[in-house]
Amino acid sequence: MLALVKPQYITDENGKKISVILPVDEYERIVQELEDADDVKLYDEVKQLNEPSTSFDDYVKSRRSK
């Protein structure tokens, strides 16, 4: 959740924020959330194609039988 992020800012000589400092664990959590959101977006895009699909379990079974 972004409400938990406690960033520190680096500013230029005019006080304009130019960079953010985050603890590594917060940065990694944010990156993971963005990756998860991207996965959902890609899934939704592929699902809209309405192409035939195979369940993962069926795929694994077919691979093992070869």
Place of tokens 């899934």: 43
Q: What is the pLDDT of residues 7-61, one digit of tens each?
A: 899 999 999 999 999 999 999 999 999 999 999 999 999 989 988 888 999 999 9
Strands 8-11 and 17-21, sheet pairing: antiparallel
Q: Are 19 and 9 in contact (CB under 8 A)?
A: yes
**Residue type, position 6, single letter:** K
Give pLDDT, residue 64. 92
Give pLDDT, residue 2. 54
